[in-house]
Structure 1
Amino acid sequence: MIRLSRPFVLPLLALALVACRDEAPRAPAAATPTPQGEVPLAEPPREPVELADVVETDPRYIVGITYPPEVNRYPGLAAELKAYSDAAREDLMEAVAGLEADATAGTLYDLALEYKVIADTPEIFAVAADGSSFTGGAHGAPLIARFVWLPQQDRLLTADALVRDPEAWRAIARYVREQLHAALSQRVDADDLDPAERERVVRSAGRMIDEGATPEADSFSEFEPVTGTDGRLVALRFVFPPYQVGPYSDGVQTVEVPAAVLLPHVDETYRPLFSEASAPQ
């Protein structure tokens, strides 16, 4: 499903609106050896992609997508972003197709998606995708994705490649859940609820944390690099969209996991990405 961090209106989307009214699937990364040591055949190369901003209006819907121009330096990454955008647009158009002809005058669906560069070093180039897709209801469906590209390897860095041992996710998940529960307690305390209501909120939201941060790579698929002065990783910031570890009203939640916690579990291939100063002593 597609996901969102917070409501916002893209500059291009705003212009288009004035004119007309007042866990997406990603393509597989480069082939890696199978457990038997065999290397599967690589997929056929994709057609070159040159990303450009999109503004599309119709009496029934509006689409606004913006891309940072730097992404075009990496054709493989550009193809990943286009695939994500295309999947989001396909979802929107399926909903548009279901609109009754006589109901279009009062219904305007929209897709707003913005990509931003959040890291740019020789070893890591990362892009954040944030947006929403509105097809009715109280609010748009969240659109959240993070793309961490390794220029020297010409591939995406994914959670399951970063930490290959399924058991290792238990330690990482435990750290993340502790941070999320602590943040939950702080939010609830700030609301100054009566004891019975506080207990109910903590129990309900705490259950969402435990169910949304299970010890597996899929629970931590969206993450951002945190780099030090030398440009290498000192931490990873895991990003959780609304509904994964809390209600929609809590918005996007993040937990920064330091390299000292991660490195004992990181695959040897990717340990050079981390700063030596941040390694556990």
Structure 2
Amino acid sequence: MSSNSRARRAALFQSLISFGSLALCACTQSPQQQASVPAAVAAVPAPDARVSDEAGKSKEIKTEVQYPELAPEFAPMLQAMHGYADAAKADLAQIVADAPPRADNAAHPVLNLDFSVRTQTRDFTSAVGSGDSDFGGAHPKPLLATFTEHVPSGKLVALGDLFTDSNAAFKALSAEARRRLEADFDVRLAQQIPDAKARAEQVKASHEWIEKGTAPGAENFESFLVDGVDGKAIGLTLMFPAYQVASYADGPQQIAVPAKVFYAQLKPEYRDAFAIDKEDMQAGEAMQPQAAAPRPAG
């Protein structure tokens, strides 16, 4: 048994102990205390719990995939996770099939994926799948996917599904992502590159990379989580895999976007799921991209 396998099994044993302790505490609560926990949130165990570890080694590929424990109502999410893992395995298998024969002592191509629940509100549960596909190149291919289920309907939703006008919403999210990422990289580069001229060149290059990776459109905002506090959604976390807005060395990036940025674009059936006050809503409406004024006749 490898050291990684032993570590995972130790973590699983500890998770089971913790889960058992929580269950015992729940049994000692009064009915009123138990009723205060939203059913949709209580249905999902702690993100570290594991229902299955999928490990295998064929003649060509070694795979290690971990899935979270999910209640039956989250079957669509678990099915989507398995579908993503299967597609990643097929992609790596195709790369192996197309590549020249490897030496007998060459390391096996490896697929590593870990799926876990990250955020939970009364209306949404979001999970992340991350890892890499390693064929032995300069560095592994990073993998990142998110899965968000609308709990009342039991349906998985893409980011664009939340909005009445997805184009307007993506423009607002693009502007916010660009602003935050550029500010973050400007600070990093100021700390890393003392020379002003050399830093200016790097700042320009990083801004161009960010602008391309955050251009409005569903393809640049595929990975997201619904963030929440006390069961109520308060915003989104936008996630960008390595290469999308920065170099491989910089790794994946993510930013938190408050609900006021996109609240005006939410479909009516989703608005009650997000907490926002009137001042925030007015500020969000002021942040929406404005249409160009019509030109006077004549």
TM-score range (shorter-chain normalised) is 0.7 to 0.9
Give the Å deviation of 1:61.
2.7
Distance 1:65 1:141 in 2: 16
CA RMSD of aligned residues (A): 2.5
Name the residue aligned to 1:76: 76
Distance 1:74 1:64 in 2: 22
Distance in 1, matches of 2:131 and 2:268, equals: 34
**Which residue of 2 is the match for residue 29 of structure 1?**
none
- Cα 1:101–1:247 shift into 2, 3 Å: closer
2:249 is paired with a residue whose SS is helix
Answer with 92-101 or 112-121: which moved more: 92-101
In the TM superposition, residue 257 of structure 1 has moved relative to its aligned partner by: 0.8
Which whole-Å CA distance do the structure 2 matches of 1:193 and 1:13 have between them? 46
Q: Determine whether 1:138 maps to 2:138.
A: yes
Work out which structure has the larger RCO, using CA pairs closer than 8 Å and 6 or more positions apart in sequence.
1
**Farther-moved stretch of structure 1 (255-264 vs 156-165):** 156-165
Matched, 1:253 2:253: yes
TM-score, structure 2 normalization? 0.73
Distance 1:194 1:132, change over 3 A: same
Contact persistence 2:121–2:227 (CA under 8 A): no
TM-score, scaled to structure 1: 0.77
Distance 1:141 1:258 in 2: 31
Task: Give the conservation status (yes or no) of the 8 Å contact 2:89–2:111.
Answer: yes
Q: Does residue 91 in structure 1 map to residue 91 in structure 2?
A: yes
Residue 276 (structure 1) shift: 4.1
Q: Shift of the alpha carbon at 1:269?
A: 2.3
Percent sequence identity over matched residues? 27
1:70 alignment partner, SS class: coil
| Number of residue equivalences | 238
SS in 1 for 2:83: helix
Judging by fraction of residues, say which structure has more helix. Answer: 2
Partner Cα separation in structure 2 for residue 190 and residue 251 of structure 1? 18
AA of the residue aligned to 1:205: S
Unaligned runs of 5+ in 2: 9-50, 283-298
Matching residue of 1:36: none
Could you tell which deviates more after superposition, 167-176 or 87-96?
167-176
State how far apart, in whole Å, the 2-side matches of 1:265 and 1:11 are. Answer: 45
User: 1 CA distance for matches of 2:56 and 2:76?
Assistant: 25
Deviates more, 1:78-87 or 1:267-276: 267-276
**Residues 158 and 221 in structure 1, CA contact (< 8 A), matched pair in contact too:** yes
1:5-84 alignment to 2 at 5 Å?
A: 11-12=4-5, 52-58=52-58, 60-70=60-70, 72-84=72-84
* 1:233 is aligned to 2:233: yes
Instruction: Give the superposition deviation at 1:277.
Output: 4.1
**Deviations 1:136-176 (Å, cap 9, x if unpaired)?**
31111111011111121111121111134213322221111
Partner of 1:195: 196
Distance verdict in 2 for CA 1:212–1:13, change over 3 Å? farther
Structure 1 unpaired stretches of 5+ = 1-8, 16-50
- Asked whether the equivalents of residues 13 and 64 of structure 1 are also in contact (C-alpha less than 8 Å), the reply is no
Query: 1:78–1:168: structure 2 CA closer, same or farther, 3 Å change rule?
Result: closer
Any idea what the Cα deviations from partners look like across 1:86-137, whole Å, max 9, x if unmatched?
Answer: 0001011112223544524223210000011112344212111110001131
Segment of structure 1 superposing worse, 114-123 or 51-60? 51-60
Change beyond 3 A, Cα 1:215–1:98: closer
Instruction: Please tell me whether residue 157 in structure 1 is matched to residue 157 in structure 2.
Output: yes
Q: Work out whether residues 12 and 64 of structure 1, in 8 Å CA contact, stay in contact via their aligned partners in 2.
A: no
Distance 1:115 1:102, change over 3 A: closer
**Higher Rg:** 2
